[in-house]
Amino acid sequence: MSEKKVGRRSFVKYAAAGVVAVAVAGAGAYYYATMPKPTITPTPTLTQTLTGAPTTTPKAEPIKIGGLYPLTGAVAFDGQDEQYGAQMAIDEINATGGVLGHPLEHLPMDTGYYIPDKAVGCIEKLATVDKVHLFVAAYMSQTGWELDTFEKYAIPNLNGDGGMGFMTKCYATPDKYWSSWMMAGPVCYNGVRFPALLEEIINSGGWKPANRNVAYITLDNEYSRYVDESFRGNMKEGEVFGLTIPGFPKFGWKEVMHEVAEIGSVEWRPLISKIKKANPALLVFTDFVTSDEISFLRQFIPSPTNTLIYMAYGPQMPEFIMQGSDVANGIIHSTDVGQIPDENGLAWEQKFKAKFGRLPGLAVAANLYDEVYLWKAAVEKAGTYEDHAAVAAEISKIKYKGITGTAVFDPKTHTVEYATEKFPDCNPFMYYQIQDLNQVCVDPKQVAKPFILPPWIKK
């Protein structure tokens, strides 16, 4: 995948328009852990399926839904989770009468790791040949370039990309991109809550860092840069891409190392030597590729420093524990969208396992499941699936309760709101730690269990 390299200054300038909204929301996100427990009302289909209520199969012409998934490449496991999440919702809906009497037909297509030419080809085929009435996806390009392709065909699309590029373009011209809606907040939220969470762990006696030094290892791609930049700003001085969050506490962390790796790295010893020299209490590792993360840990853990490790994205996928069972315990990670681990979310996970033979990851499967159901609610409110503008108008003002929380969209950025004082039951940002090869939520407090010291850190 060819990528445009973005330096820190140009990156900040590029993101600035969208971040005006994000920084304000970020201040609220910092406080979400003190909010009341998110309430999830199961969809009728979920209740009917769990109780074994009678189902029916619709017979009318099918409504086609186009799925844009990375079914091959470095994140193919994600693509499978996305496809499964959407298919699970579609099967449930079809078993209870479909949408406006029509069955749904799922047309998954492989975008690779969102390769531009390949992704555009998928969108164009689904729009012009297959005549879909909805696009669903998890993450996309992070830059928002695909918005113009979606706008060309005027078909509603829901995604969980989390990219600042999407927000920036919608913020500048929201009416132009009326068909596009993002069901995950910006990935810059990854770093907003983290410093305060660490402070709570320290104050509880769960961890006693030897210093306040932090090291960073990242990749030269859009997602990793966004997450890396978020952590670097918030750990240091409470900033989101150069904009200070009002009232954000300063916890005194000092950056002592920042390195850029390459996707597919297999030799980590030179960087590990730098880590040992810097001796940080914390490492933020935003190379999100599961195989890279496992490879790094296998070279670090045999002779470690007393360093707490946060890793981006990869640890939330089942393959991280399946393939890295010898090194996974103790890793902290997070997700900006996913099933909330309460009674409803855990029941949904077991239903997913019964259908597909394994548990889902912590993000994209639930994200796609909720996308399909949210669209269904909007279509039924509009009374039509063919009038795409009417459906999008209902999406814009919807308040939908699902497995990932309550979806309410910001009309300026077309992005779902996060749990804040204004929207206490919206999607919470969740931090996890792998404990005994299980995914354990350590934040927000309403569904959290205690943090434990990683096995490589000496007390």
Number of H helices, E strands in the chain: 14, 18
Query: Which of 8-12, 176-180, 432-436 ranks highest by mean pLDDT?
Result: 432-436
What's the CA gap between 303 and 283, in Å, rounded?
Answer: 15
Q: What is the pLDDT of residue 47?
A: 33
Options 2.130.10.10, 2.60.40.1150, 3.40.50.2300, 3.20.20.70; CATH of 44-186+340-416: 3.40.50.2300
Query: Which of 82-86, 228-232, 235-239 ranks highest by mean pLDDT?
Result: 82-86
**Is pLDDT above 90 for 350?**
yes
Query: Average pLDDT, stretch 103-124?
Result: 89
Start-end ranges of CATH 3.40.50.2300 in the chain? 44-186+340-416, 188-335+430-447
pLDDT tens digits, 26-46:
433 333 333 333 333 333 333
Strand partners, 446: none
Beta-carbon neighbour count of residue 210 at 10 Å?
Answer: 13
Token digits of residue 417: 């709101």
Q: What is the pLDDT of residue 141?
A: 65
Residues 307 and 330: beta-carbon distance below 8 Å: no
Helix (H) or strand (E) holding 407: strand 405-407
Among 187, 147, 135, which Cα is nearest to 26's? 187
Residues 279 and 212: beta-carbon distance below 8 Å: no
DSSP 418: B
C-alpha dihedral sign at 162, 191, 333, 346 = negative
Q: Which CATH architecture has domain 188-335+430-447?
A: 3-Layer(aba) Sandwich (3.40)
pLDDT tens digits, 301-332:
999 999 999 999 899 988 899 999 999 999 99
Return left, alpha or beta for 114; rule: phi > 0 is left, psi -120 to 50 is alpha, else beta: left
Q: What is the pLDDT of residue 48?
A: 34
Among 293, 294, 288, which Cα is nearest to 313's? 288
Q: At what angle do helices 269-278 and 290-300 cross, to 10 degrees?
A: 60
Percent of the chain with pLDDT over 70: 82
Mean pLDDT, the chain, whole residue set: 83
**Is pLDDT above 80 for 421?**
no
Lowest mean per-residue pLDDT among 58-62, 163-167, 276-280, 356-360: 163-167
315 phi/psi in degrees, rounded to 5: -60, -15
449 phi/psi in degrees, rounded to 5: -120, 165
Residues 427 and 185: beta-carbon distance below 8 Å: yes
Lowest mean per-residue pLDDT among 49-53, 280-284, 351-355, 393-397: 49-53
What's the CA gap between 362 and 274, in Å, rounded?
Answer: 32
Query: Which DSSP string do the residues of 370-419 spell out, in sequence order?
Result: HHHHHHHHHHHHHT-SS-HHHHHHHHHT--EEETTEEE-EETTTTEEPBS
Q: What is the pLDDT of residue 57?
A: 53
DSSP 41: P
What's the CA gap between 20 and 89, in Å, rounded?
Answer: 35
